[in-house]
Amino acid sequence: MKVETMKARTSQPSAAVAFSNSFLLGFALVFFSAIGFCTHSSAHYSTHQAGSDSNYDGGGSNISSFSSFNKYIMQSYYEKYENLFDSDFQDFVAQELPFGLCEVLPHDLSLVVRPPILRRNLIGKGSHRHLTSSIRVNIKPEPIFELPTHHCELIIIERLPSGVFADPFELQHLLQRGAYSAIAVFGDANLELPSFLSNRTSVEVHMDIGHNFLLRRDKESNINIELPLHARYPPLDESGYWEVKFGMPDLFMRCSIEGTSQNQSCLYKMPEINGSELGYSKLVWKIPSGMKAHAGIVSTLTFVAALMSAFAIAATSIFHSGIASGKHLKES
């Protein structure tokens, strides 16, 4: 009898421990559910932007630079500014970039190049799209002066709107396939953050447009770019959709004179895009979002489901602990 009593007593602490573990697990489920319930009410109205690295590199460095040879414009921007704002970027372009420092190439690119024509489109469905851009560049037919032998690259900067990001690993695959000469992603490093907690990102693309580009008088060059984009979790909206509007890309050209050192290359801002073609460049991406009217119901049901799951786990644990204790008593 003493042995049976001792075994029965030893089985009681094990049941208590099992109940304690189950209770803690259930409490954790309810706690995190409550956090989600409280977060929903304040997240939509929050204006706080989560801090992040100024630029992101899939390989581990601060800058997602897949070509160490090129100097990225956005790299210089993020050395001065923490986040991407259109007004800051426009001031940076106007005041910081070294335009018009060439001695043998034209100081103003508009003297040689006509305003480019841009056509854009969003391809795909759902939360994963491809932004395609077709840029048509014409060189003016009338010669202004003789130009030396040179090599040029086109630089396209996409300042992505809030709620959209580009995956650096996908862009790296495009670079490895030879689609671009260089590409970099700058902005928020956390790809899982919802749109109301994330900073804007930007993509800078470098494309080789060949030798003596400015000497191709009265010739048309078509440059096509395709960027895979992804939507972040949008804030709540009454319509059930969150509209993301794309602005104009920023176009630059960098030319270097053959036979000179690399620091003598010339940076240009491309002429403004024709106003008649602006309609092709303004795109809207409607991202499905939750509705405010449903937020309270969804949060309440989630909380109740988590609470019931916690009690079910605790009850199941206690039941199995009781069966195990009964078996020990019978065996003794």
Report pLDDT for 217: 72
Higher pLDDT: 135 or 279? It is 135
Q: Is the pLDDT of residue 327 over 80?
A: no
Residue 27 has pLDDT above 60, yes or no: no
- pLDDT, tens digit (0-9, with 9 covering 90-100), for 220-239: 788 899 999 998 877 666 66
Q: Cα separation of 212 and 132, whole Å?
A: 27
Distances, alpha carbon 36 to alpha carbons 22, 86, 132, 191, 297, in Å: 21, 33, 37, 20, 13
Q: Is the pTM of this model over 0.85?
A: no
DSSP states of 262-301 as a string? GGG-EEEEPPPPPGGGHHHH-EEEEEE---HHHHHHHHHH
User: Higher model confidence: residue 69 or residue 30?
Assistant: 30
> Average pLDDT for residues 270-298, to the nearest whole number?
67
Q: Tell me: pLDDT of 200 over 50.
A: yes
> How far is it, in rounded angstroms, from Cα 278 to Cα 118?
8
In this prediction, residue 249 has a pLDDT band, given cuts at 50, 70 and 90, of very high
